[in-house]
Structure formats: C-alpha cells, structure tokens
C-alpha cells in the first residue's frame, strides 16, 4: 500500500510540475525575456571588470543580485540576502559556494560547456556568461533538460554560442547524442537526485569531458555518487568540493568538481 501511494504521489507531482511550467511559460514569457535581457546583458556580468570577477567578495554579491532562488529557507542565516529573492534569473545555489566554484573554473582554459538539467537556467546562464567574459576564446555551450523552460529558449536566442536541447537523459537518444557530440571542457550534472541516474549520466559523458561538476553532493543519493567517484577515480581525477553554507544548522546543496589529471 505504501509503495502504491508513493508511486501515485510521484506521478501526481510530476504532472503538476509539467503543467506548472507550461502555465508559467505562457503567462510570464515576456516578463522573463525582459529580466534576462536586463540582468544578463545590460548589467552585472557583461558590465563587470574581469579583475573584479576574480574576487570572491565581488562575485558573491554579483551572484546574489542576478540569480538567487525564491526559497528564503536556504538563506535564513544571511538576512541581507532577502532583498534579492526572486529578483534575478533564479538558481538554487548558495552564492558563497558558486562564487568559489566559478573562480576555480577561471584558472582553466574552458572553451566549451555542457549542463545537464538546466531548469530555469540560472546556473547555466551565469556560468556561460562568466566563462565568456573571462575567456574570449570560449566557443559554445549546450544546455539539456527533459522539460521545456522558456527562459532557456530565450537565452539561446540571445546568445549565438548557446544551444538548448529538450531531451531525457535516460533515453537512448541522449547516449547517442553524447557519442556524436564534440568534446566538452566542462560539464555540470544537475539532472537527477537519484543515485542510479546521476551515476549513469556520469558514466555516459566522462570519456568526452575533461572536467565534471556535480550539484547537490551534500544531499541524499548524490552524495553517494560523489563518494563512489572519490573512491573509484581519485587516481584519474583531482577532486574539489565547494560546501560553504548559508545556514548554521544542516548541510545543503554543495558542488563537487573533478578534473582529469594530465
């Protein structure tokens, strides 16, 4: 009985999410286009000096302004962040984690980027804009999600170096796409919170990619994937963790980054 209830609940919420996204796209599409243009192109990332983007304090504030998620519970101990809730392009990241992560990426000559599980696109857009700003040789980025988000579609129209693909990473089409697609310097996996799917995604993409980042390494199941990779691939990769918190109690989110050794 409990198993049946869990399946029905999962089915119900899956469809609520899909129709919620469709409704959100329909009602707020024009507004999101304005927000994307304003926050990404007129201000912040493209207007910032390169030297400033390498400073953790500056980048921390910048990320807070352009992309904080609307859930205040994740930032409860940092009351000064409240004014930024839902004001930008939205991503569920801690700015102190993401700032250190981006600054680490700046040390590498990253010319291509793949994000699996873009959601609304906050992490994807911020990462692409940051890499483009710091590296004039940046060539292309691809965002993949199984659901259609109009904010990602709009950004792909704005940026001719970006492709947005709606695809289920559990499908054979995804495996074939990765087999045929060009090499990527960096991939970010944020498509699933299940152990099996997250690990499967990594196993599919790892031969084509020099650096792989995992989101939610402090959360259940993804943390098991991260520990598995640390145990199995420590000789092949350098491993970094970005786990600073915005809460004094509990451990949330977290980014793990692996870099192939020369």
Q: pLDDT tens, 135-144?
A: 999 999 999 9
Tell me the pTM. 0.83
Is the dihedral angle over the CA atoms 227, 229, 235, 240 positive or is it negative? negative
Q: What number of other Cβ atoms are within 10 A of residue 250's Cβ?
A: 8
Specify the CATH class of 2-260 in words.
alpha beta
- pLDDT for 191-225, tens place per residue? 877 899 999 999 999 988 999 999 999 988 999 99
Domain ranges of the chain: 2-260
Q: Which of 179, 105, 187 is nearest to 141 (CA)?
A: 187
Q: Dmax of the chain from CA atoms?
A: 59
What is the distance of C-alpha 103 from the center of its chain?
15
């Amino acid at each position: 009985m409990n198993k049946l209830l869990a399946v029905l609940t999962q089915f119900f919420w899956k469809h609520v999410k899909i129709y919620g996204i469709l409704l959100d796209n329909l009602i707020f599409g024009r507004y999101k286009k304005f927000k994307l243009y304003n926050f990404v192109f007129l201000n912040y990332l493209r207007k910032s000096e390169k030297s400033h983007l390498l400073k953790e304090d500056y980048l921390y504030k910048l990320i807070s302004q352009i992309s904080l998620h609307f859930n205040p519970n994740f930032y409860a101990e940092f009351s000064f962040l409240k004014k930024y809730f839902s004001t930008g392009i939205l991503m569920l990241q801690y700015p102190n984690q993401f700032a250190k992560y981006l600054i680490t990426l700046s040390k590498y000559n990253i010319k291509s980027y793949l994000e699996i599980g873009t959601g609304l696109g906050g992490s994807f857009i911020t990462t692409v804009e940051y890499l483009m700003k710091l590296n004039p040789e940046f060539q292309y980025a691809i965002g993949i999600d199984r659901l259609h988000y109009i904010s990602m579609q709009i950004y792909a129209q704005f940026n001719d170096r970006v492709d947005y693909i709606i695809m289920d990473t559990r499908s054979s089409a995804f495996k074939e796409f990765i087999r045929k697609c060009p090499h990527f310097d960096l991939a970010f996996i944020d498509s699933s919170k299940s152990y099996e799917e997250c690990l499967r995604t990594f196993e599919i993409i790892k031969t084509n990619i020099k650096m792989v980042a995992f989101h939610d390494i402090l959360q259940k199941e993804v943390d098991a994937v991260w520990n598995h990779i640390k145990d199995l691939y420590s000789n092949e990769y350098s491993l970094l963790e970005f786990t600073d918190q915005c809460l004094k109690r509990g451990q949330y989110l977290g980014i793990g980054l692996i870099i192939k050794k020369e």
